[in-house]
A and B are shown apart, each in its own frame.
Chain A
């Protein structure tokens, strides 16, 4: 029971971040029909830009975790993340979409991913960094851990889960009930038709590319002080998001978010749960979900995922 609660909370906290990435992938897929291979790394770029303003490139630091500086750093990171996301769409994705070249956007977005990772890796060359924490989670309970029914749970986990769920529900509400949200759904449904009735499709999609990055970045930063970060952090979070999005076959963003939550819990369970003396263990944590999703999509593809046939 105690281990179950611990697995559930830590899994949900990790999954909440995966979920926002997954929702981003799925929204982008539904708007444009592309899979954004640079998504995780673009968010990583924002996270490290924030870290750079906060603490420079020193490996371990609580410096700069004062509120005004943190707000400044966060704004710099978010602006960079949105700008880079929008630029990726305008410069890399849109040209190939209009030419109908799948290989173009696949290779182009993957190229952006590797280029960003190279830049982050060249600037932050150590294998791990500690992200300073502006919020005083450290003072709650025993150095940030609270006991619930015998389980040791990170207090931050509740904050991350709450924030991510709020962001996910907020964006869902935005898509459902605002003018811009309706316009985006129109684009997802039929881009040509939306363009015909005067929706500024290119502008909206370019903004969406930037904004989904910002949402994922906020969640990633909320979770960042909990674990060491390095140049691969964004890439790996992106990978998990992609796995979750593929598990719902790029369905509605809210489903993708839920799939992310499930993925987080499944990973934590694979790593920690014993059934009797039998346990899969942490080695299987990364590989089993990917293998399962690959098998799933190749055996049970949705009709839209299948190549067009006569």
Chain B
């Protein structure tokens, strides 16, 4: 019974937030949409409304593709296939089964969604394979339509009866307004998704997939969501556009349509939400101008358009262009860094008991004939720092990979809090509380420090999916605020609270490693595996790093640090494990290990110096 008043409260809250967040740009955008909405009523000379409405539907599909190409970085050459699936589904339902337009259009979008999910396995692949697979998909759908005239109506196409749309006669004017409204809503939703967690994580996956997955970002799920959303919206655009055209002609959906959409995205700028729509507008203008030329040269018009679009794209790409909209925005907008009060690290909980939290036993991993880790046993306790040292090639990083889930052991077990996690994936282990920093890639270079840490926060955000973020549900908004607070606190733990909005390229390499550490901390780990924190750090930085490690330990985290810098090891380690040729050769306090002479033998060989 309390649902209704709660909803009312939420709505008022949302309205207040919207008012507070409303800016001059918001008014400008609203005014622009309103002016465009008036176009059909101005009876402009020489303007064909049906062509304009059709262009708006194309812009809708291109805007949707912007999510896959711009955020996810996937070169999809198959968007036209989803438009075709939407178009022919809705056309068949209207022409053969007599459905009204609205449910038929939704069915078209649903069919495209199903096709997107079915072919969505390709998002796990490298980008070259994504490009080939989507290209083949575009051909598959087109060749299917050509080969089966019973479905596609053959060379005549399917003729569609005149219908109503939203209770009005489906005139080009009505289609124009519907397309404009859908385009505006789609752009808003995609802009929200790109600003929020989905956009951030897709961007992280695009820049450094290994680093993003080590922070528990689900590569397949995030990319599939973007790919399927693009498919659905393209299907909807195709389904409505075909009703406007009143005929479903297979030849309108050849692979060139997919290419044209990609050209529009790149021409307008994949990085901006409105870039693809601008790209479609530019292509439309080109075709208006090139039409008379083609007639003059007695060339078939479609061929001519094709060549012009292709050559234009090559020029834009060759100039290293990011596309029109980002280029304009960069000149209009001066980047202002938001003003924030530096956060203080949240007070650590009461001193935790030194209970064991992670246990590894009998871990063994061989690569071909080389045994990298041979029967390793480890026990890590809360609030304790264990250092794993040993010469190059002794299996330290492999040991970390086995514990974090990046590779599977040939034999042995990893237990977290008493339960066996040997068979779980990296992402699942991050969720359960095992985080790891990488030796090779430390931070996402296109993001700020705070955004880097927010990527790590993703595993603790159950309401940050694509749909919830795009619709900015109350829970998603509350969670986004909480995530930012948590990320700022994690930055404070590593002492970078004042650098939150600094882009990564402006940070030193030591600071980048600290950002990576903060990102791992933001996953709220019980166990933190740190690979080479001090690599490349100067002697003057060691004290700072040691203080950071100690602060993390005091928060009750079990730390395992792989470290070559033995000075740092002496400062922070409660316990030292020495590896040589994949096996433990010594274990104990720093003093015990140093006294045993094993370290010297491991590093320098048995000969006395």
Contact = CB atoms under 8 A, between A and B. Distances in A.
Interface of A: 29, 33-35, 37, 92, 95-96, 99, 102-104, 106-108, 110-112, 114-115, 117-119, 121-122, 125, 239, 242-243, 246, 282-287, 290-291, 293-294, 297-299, 301, 304-310
A34 B127 CA distance: 10
19 contacts: A103-B73, A106-B75, A106-B127, A107-B317, A111-B309, A121-B300, A121-B303, A283-B148, A287-B140, A290-B139, A294-B140, A297-B122, A297-B125, A306-B124, A307-B125, A307-B127, A310-B210, A310-B213, A310-B406
B211 interface: yes
A84 to B, nearest CB: 14
A307 B133 CA distance: 14
A107 B313 contact: yes
Interface stretch (B55-63, B229-237, B258-266): B258-266
Interface in B184-242: 209-211, 213-214, 219
Interface in B527-561: none
Contacts of B136: 239, 242-243, 246, 290, 293-294
Contacts of B124: 301, 306-307
B482 interface: no
A308 B438 CA distance: 14
B435 to A, nearest CB: 11
Interface in B285-329: 299-300, 303-304, 306-307, 309-311, 313-314, 317-318, 320
A305 B314 contact: no
* B73, B75, B256, B438 interface centre (most CB from chain A within 10 Å): B75
Given A103-B69, A103-B73, A306-B125, A297 B133 contact: yes
B272 to A, nearest CB: 15
A46 B425 CA distance: 51
Contact of B310 (A103, A118, A301): A118
Contact of B126 (A121, A122, A307): A307
Given A287-B147, A308-B210, 13 more contacts: A35-B132, A37-B77, A107-B262, A108-B313, A108-B317, A110-B77, A114-B307, A290-B139, A306-B125, A306-B126, A307-B126, A308-B209, A309-B209
A291 B266 CA distance: 28
Contact of A309 (B213, B259, B310): B213
Given A107-B262, A310-B211, A122 B310 contact: no
A29 B306 CA distance: 26
B270 A118 contact: no
B515 interface: no
Given A107-B262, A107-B317, A301-B124, A122 B144 contact: no
A110 B259 CA distance: 8
Contacts of B148: 283
Contacts of B262: 107, 110
Contacts of A239: 136, 139
A216 to B, nearest CB: 18
B317 A104 contact: yes
Interface residues of B, number: 57
A307 B127 CA distance: 8
A283 B152 CA distance: 13
A104 to B, nearest CB: 5
Contacts of B422: none
A284 B140 CA distance: 11
Contacts of B139: 239, 290
A285 B136 CA distance: 15
A64 B122 CA distance: 48
Contacts of A114: 256, 259, 306-307, 309-310
A246 B140 contact: no
Contacts of A291: 140
Contacts of A95: 318
Contact of B266 (A107, A242, A287, A294): A107
Given A95-B318, A108-B317, A310-B211, A118 B304 contact: yes
Nearest to B441: A310
A209 B363 CA distance: 47
Nearest to A38: B310
A178 B270 CA distance: 45
Chain A interface mostly: helix
6 residue pairs, one from A and one from B, having the closest CB atoms: A298-B121, A310-B214, A118-B307, A111-B310, A106-B75, A115-B310
A110 B139 CA distance: 13
A122 B314 contact: no
A110 B138 CA distance: 13
B306 A115 contact: yes
B323 to A, nearest CB: 11
Interface string B356-397: 000000000000000000000000000000000000000000
A99 B319 CA distance: 13
B147 to A, nearest CB: 4
Interface string B105-146: 000000000000001111011111101110111011001100
Contact of A286 (B133, B147, B211, B311): B147
B209 A298 contact: no
- The interface centre, meaning the residue of B122, B317, B406 with most chain A CB atoms within 10 A of its CB, is B317
B438 A310 contact: yes
A104 B75 CA distance: 9
Contacts of A294: 119, 122, 133, 136-137, 140
B401 to A, nearest CB: 8
A301 B128 CA distance: 13
A285 B209 CA distance: 38
A112 B314 contact: yes
A298 B270 CA distance: 26
A309 B119 contact: no
Contacts of B317: 96, 104, 107-108
B542 to A, nearest CB: 27
Contacts of B256: 114
B426 interface: yes
B128 A298 contact: no
Contacts of A293: 136
A108 B131 CA distance: 12
B304 A102 contact: no
A94 B137 CA distance: 26
Contacts of B219: 307, 309
B310 A297 contact: no
A95 B133 CA distance: 24
A304 B126 CA distance: 8
B311 A122 contact: no
Contacts of A308: 126, 209-210
A246 B126 CA distance: 13
B209 A290 contact: no
B310 A298 contact: no
Nearest to A281: B147
A275 B78 CA distance: 35
A106 B122 CA distance: 16
A104 B315 CA distance: 11
Contacts of B121: 298-299
Interface in B61-84: 69, 73, 75, 77
Interface in B412-457: 426, 436, 438
Contacts of A307: 124-127, 209, 219
Nearest to A231: B303
A7 B144 CA distance: 23
Most buried by B among A35, A104, A106, A304: A106
Given A92-B314, A111-B313, A125-B300, A102 B128 contact: yes
Given A107-B317, A290-B140, A294-B140, A37 B128 contact: no
Interface in B321-342: none
Nearest to B220: A307
A34 B128 contact: yes
A119 B266 contact: no
Given A122-B300, A290-B136, A294-B136, A111 B314 contact: yes
Contacts of B75: 102-103, 106-107
A36 B438 CA distance: 34
B210 A309 contact: yes
